[in-house]
Amino acid sequence: MAAEVLEGKAIAEAIRAEAGAQARACKARGVTPGLAAVLVGDNPASTSYVSAKTKACAEAGIFSETLRFPAALSQTELLLKIGELNRDRRFHGILVQLPLPQQINEAAVTNAVAPEKDVDGLSLASMGRLLLGEPHFIPCTPHGILQLLLRTGHDPEGKHVVICGRSNLVGKPLAVLLMQKRKGANATVTVCHTATRDLASHTRQADILVVAAGHPNTVTREMVKPGAVVIDVGINRVEDATKKAGYRLVGDVDFEGVKAVAGAITPVPGGVGPLTVAMLLVNTVKAAELALARQG
Ligand code: GUN
């Protein structure tokens, strides 16, 4: 029997509606949640992600502004800008879209965001809190994956979750999140990466397989245990002359092949991507609520 397709888009819409209601509650208390999105250069994928994020903000009643800079921007100039945004009371959250041009050290920039405005959850403070099980802001993609699993009835508790990919954005924080001893997590976690030997021997053991490797066809049918839940985090552009844009989007998983053996699978697009956007709204509203609480 073909796998259930986990429609992230529909779940993301529900979460965005919840965030919208919370944003209205903040407004009623005199604070409109605000997000500053920082985009350096003109990477087409980054440009489209940032516009999806700011459009979703507008729909949820969150004020947002996109600050665009040329690809040649220096690290010093960017750090000065982040300092200004840290002091700007209109913004409760700051998002610096990654990747950044090579002259800029990403860690230096993500760490420059004030912890109370770190809605991407990528600073040392946010990652440290996550590791110790006391998060303020959970990175958006791992948080979205957890919500997708829980809201589709695939609680990871007691399951073996295998993650392909050890990035700071997805693999590492997701592994930490899933291994926490608390409801909605509590999984046994294996993290595979580019030095893993015999990847298939690991992926075949997964009850839940998360693929965030950044390459199409990283996981194919014979690498998946029958009935497993497969979460595809990849977004890859592949040339396709039949499309108006000249390309189409595919994930890291061979969708058609794996769909025939898996119990459930996320599509690309329309799977994890929309949840990343939704969780950014959740974190931005949370940052505004924390600001309100500090005001007393
Ligand atoms: N680039 C790809 N995904 C993300 C994300 O979740 N946050 C940021 N800041 N950049 C990204």
Please, what are the domains in the chain? 30-115 (3.40.50.10860), 140-273 (3.40.50.720)
For position 260, what pLDDT does the model report? Answer: 98
User: Over the stretch 124-171, which tens digit does the pLDDT of each residue have?
Assistant: 999 999 999 999 999 999 999 999 999 999 999 999 999 999 999 999
What is the pLDDT confidence band of residue 1, given thresholds at 50, 70 and 90?
A: confident
Q: For residues 38 and 19, what is the distance between their CA atoms, to the nearest angstrom? A: 22
Instruction: Count Cβ atoms below 10 Å from residue 293 Cβ, excluding itself.
Output: 8
Catalytic residue of the set 22, 81, 117, 120: 120
Say if residues 209 and 189 touch (Cβ distance below 8 Å): no
Residue 9 reports pLDDT greater than 90: yes
Buried b (16+ CB within 10 A) or exposed e, 224-250: bbeebbbbbbbbbeeeeeeeeeeeebb
Say if residues 147 and 153 touch (Cβ distance below 8 Å): no
For position 255, what pLDDT does the model report? Answer: 98
For position 90, what pLDDT does the model report? Answer: 98
CA 98 to centroid of ligand 1, rounded, Å: 5
Averaged pLDDT, 201-211: 99
For position 68, what pLDDT does the model report? Answer: 98
Residue whose CA is at the smallest distance from ligand 1 atom 11: 98
For position 70, what pLDDT does the model report? Answer: 98
Q: Is 120 among the residues known to form the active site?
A: yes
Q: Is 253 in the pocket of ligand 1 (CB under 6 A)?
A: no
User: Over the stretch 235-251, which tens digit does the pLDDT of each residue have?
Assistant: 999 999 999 999 999 99
Q: For residues 191 and 174, what is the distance between their CA atoms, to the nearest angstrom? A: 10
Q: Is 141 in the pocket of ligand 1 (CB under 6 A)?
A: yes
CA 71 to centroid of ligand 1, rounded, Å: 17
For position 282, what pLDDT does the model report? Answer: 98
Share of the chain above pLDDT 90, in %: 99
Q: Is 27 among the residues known to form the active site?
A: no
What is the pLDDT confidence band of residue 296, given thresholds at 50, 70 and 90?
A: confident
* Mean pLDDT taken over the chain: 97
Averaged pLDDT, 256-260: 98
Q: Is 208 in the pocket of ligand 1 (CB under 6 A)?
A: no
Sequential DSSP letters for 103-139: TS-HHHHHHHS-GGG-TT--SHHHHHHHHTT--SS--
Residue 98 CA: which ligand 1 atom is closest?
Answer: 10
